[in-house]
Copies of this chain bind each other. A is one copy, B any other.
Amino acid sequence: MLPAEVSIREVGPRDGFQNEPETIRTEDKLRLIGILLDAGLRRIELTSFVRSDVIPQLSDAEEVLSGIEPRDGVVYSALVPNLRGLDRALGFTDKLGEVSFFCSATESHNRANVNRSIEESLGELEQAVGKASDSGLRCVSVISVSFGCPYEGRVEPETVFGIAERLVAAGCDEIGFGDTTGMANPRQVGEFFVAASERLDGTELTAHFHNTRGQGLANALAALEAGVCSFESSFGELGGCPFPPGATGNIATEDLVGMLEEMGIDTGVDSAAVVRASAAAQEILGRPLGSHVLTAGPVDWSGPEQSPEA
């Protein structure tokens, strides 16, 4: 019933770095991405082509793309907010395999995020998806606040599926569902993805959870049980919506991989190696990160060489 293997897109270099108060130096970003690649991650969202005055933390998008080396079997992606961002991304079709778009499930959140109605966003996304596809890029769209909205409360799955169908019709190969402010619970997640896989048969469905209320991995488990085998996560538990202060954002890649590894589900990723990236990020940022496996280490089933009474 559980999938034998799971695909993980590492979003820390975009979602994580974007949410840090201090801009991380490009050379540090490239070093961290290198450690993540060495850990076995094969899908990495490298940056976002946003306006520098809006998100200065990612103003080096071109430098990151220029500095990254293609690797066999690795698919790089970038987040693209609009047609203007897409034009910048199209300068790197030699490096990028995927572009990610986004839209909110509620009018209030979409308005707060991009100052547009959902219909306005979808209109531009439909154009952008067509253009990106024509350039050979695989298209992903993430629907924010799919499981609950801080402004509007409950979100009807039908509303989310309707937006997803529009994006699939426009040419998206994959739809991500974001629990942007950590409001989802496992029962809801399970029911959502069972229904989503019926409605969106043939499309890759990706789960993006936050650990805001400690339920991040429980929601991932519920998604797994509903047949989801594609996840987004962020090394070190970086990023997400770290609000209020101290709240956690995305589920940590090493925590997700640790759980999947222990459950016998193949990810191709080495959680202990991801921890090396998180430890390096912790040093660069000068503050402790929220990842659990970073603190506790992966499970060691061997036990110590000497038992305590020896």
Contacts and interface: CB of A to CB of B under 8 A. Distances in A.
Interface of A: 2, 108, 111-112, 148-154, 182-183, 185-188, 211-218, 220-222, 244, 246-248, 251-252, 255, 258-259, 262-264, 288, 291-293, 295-304, 307-309
Contacts of A154: 301
Contact of A308 (B111, B247, B259): B111
A303 B153 contact: yes
A187 B264 contact: yes
B108 A214 contact: no
A205 B261 CA distance: 27
B215 A215 contact: no
Nearest to A217: B218
Q: How many copies does the complex hold?
A: 2
Given A111-B309, A186-B263, A292-B248, A214 B213 contact: no
Is the contact region of chain A dominated by helix, strand, or loop, or is it mixed?
Answer: loop
B255 A295 contact: no
Nearest to A293: B213
Contacts of A218: 217-218, 220-221, 259
Contact of A152 (B151, B185, B296, B307): B307
Contacts of A222: 221
A149 to B, nearest CB: 7
Contact of A304 (B150, B186, B262): B150
A117 B146 CA distance: 53
A214 B150 contact: no
A216 B214 contact: yes
Contact of A214 (B151, B217, B264, B300): B217
B244 A187 contact: no
A303 to B, nearest CB: 4
A301 B300 CA distance: 40
